């Protein structure tokens, strides 16, 4: 029998060990390759180990389970089978409807033997008849799109001007002049045709104040003004890159958002 390998990401050590012990009791052949405590470690370990299964806690410090799955979908090596993903959540029954609608594999904390046994049976069936090509990755991408937090439908006010500190001055940048926003370590870089400025605001907070018809997220760290895009071209690796009006660089489109540029 093939020995399948799993990685667990859970920030509460007691719950992580409980999940690992229950999995080993229900599925003795499963090898728990690693247990990590946050989403960043989950991404690093998963890329290094390339396990068959990922159990990702939804709420972890720094990077959530959904964000970790998105990062892995973006960075997963081409031609390598993408792991099956199970989200571990403490959400109540109402919030779990989102997982049901996304057809996402999930278990609820505290994890019960009966619920985990059903998940194990479903995983074993899927592993016994592995998806061909990138079908497993495509399923995860569909789930991530369905589970993505919605952009506010009616924000208090749309941003019209970005106020960015430059030295001892405050630069006023009209939002239509912005070509793209790019998240850095603690800031967001505001890029126009002739300048770049840093603002202390998260990309998520910024998205809620932008017009979603004009500003599209194309990567977990990039939002582009679609009116400033001149072409979407696939590179030699088959990844989409955007050419921009007034800028020489191109922007990478992650697998999660590539569907936005399908031919209409």
Strands of the chain (E only): list them.
Answer: 5-9, 31-36, 53-57, 84-89, 105-108, 161-166, 169-174, 180-183, 188-191, 196-199, 215-219, 222-225, 229-234, 240-244, 251-252
Distance between CA atoms of 137 and 141, rounded to whole angstroms? 6
pLDDT tens digits along 191-206: 999 999 999 888 888 9
**Contacting residues for 11 by C-beta, under 8 A, at least 6 apart:** 37, 38, 57, 59, 60, 61
**% of the chain beyond a pLDDT of 70:** 91
pLDDT tens digits along 125-181: 988 876 655 677 888 888 888 787 665 555 557 889 999 987 788 899 999 999 999
Please state the three-class secondary structure of 90-134 as a single string. Answer: CCCHHHHHHHHHCCCEEEECCCCHHHHHHHHHHHHHHHHCCCCCC
110 prior amide bond cis, ω within 30:
yes
- Domains located in the chain, CATH noted: 5-147 (3.40.50.2300), 161-261 (2.40.50.1020)
pLDDT tens digits along 201-254: 888 889 889 999 999 999 989 999 999 999 999 887 778 999 999 999 999 999
Q: What is the pLDDT at residue 264? A: 46
State yes or no: pLDDT of 97 exceeds 90.
no
């Amino acid at each position: 029998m093939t020995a399948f390998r799993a990685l667990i990401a859970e920030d509460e050590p007691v719950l992580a060990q409980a999940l690992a012990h229950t999995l080993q009791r229900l599925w003795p052949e499963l090898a728990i390759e690693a247990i990590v405590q946050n989403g960043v470690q989950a991404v690093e370990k998963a890329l290094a180990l390339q396990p068959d299964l990922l159990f990702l806690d939804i709420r972890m410090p720094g990077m959530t389970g959904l964000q970790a799955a998105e990062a892995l979908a973006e960075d997963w090596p081409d031609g390598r089978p993408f792991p099956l993903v199970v989200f571990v959540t403490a959400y109540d029954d109402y919030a779990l409807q989102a997982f049901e609608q996304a057809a996402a594999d999930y278990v609820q904390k505290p994890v019960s033997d009966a619920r985990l046994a059903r998940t194990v049976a479903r995983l074993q069936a899927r592993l016994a008849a592995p998806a061909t090509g990138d079908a497993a990755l495509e399923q995860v991408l569909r789930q991530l799109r369905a589970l993505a937090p919605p952009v506010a439908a009616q924000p208090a006010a749309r941003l019209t001007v970005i106020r960015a500190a430059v030295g001892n001055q405050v630069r006023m940048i009209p939002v239509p002049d912005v070509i793209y926003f790019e998240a850095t370590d603690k800031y967001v870089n505001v890029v126009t045709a002739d300048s770049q400025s840093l603002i202390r605001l998260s990309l998520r907070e910024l998205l809620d104040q932008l017009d979603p018809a004009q500003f599209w997220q194309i990567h977990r760290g990039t939002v582009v003004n679609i009116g400033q895009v001149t072409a979407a071209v696939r590179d030699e690796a088959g990844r989409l890159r955007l050419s921009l009006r007034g800028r020489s660089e191109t922007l990478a489109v992650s697998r999660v958002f590539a569907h936005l540029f399908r031919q209409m």
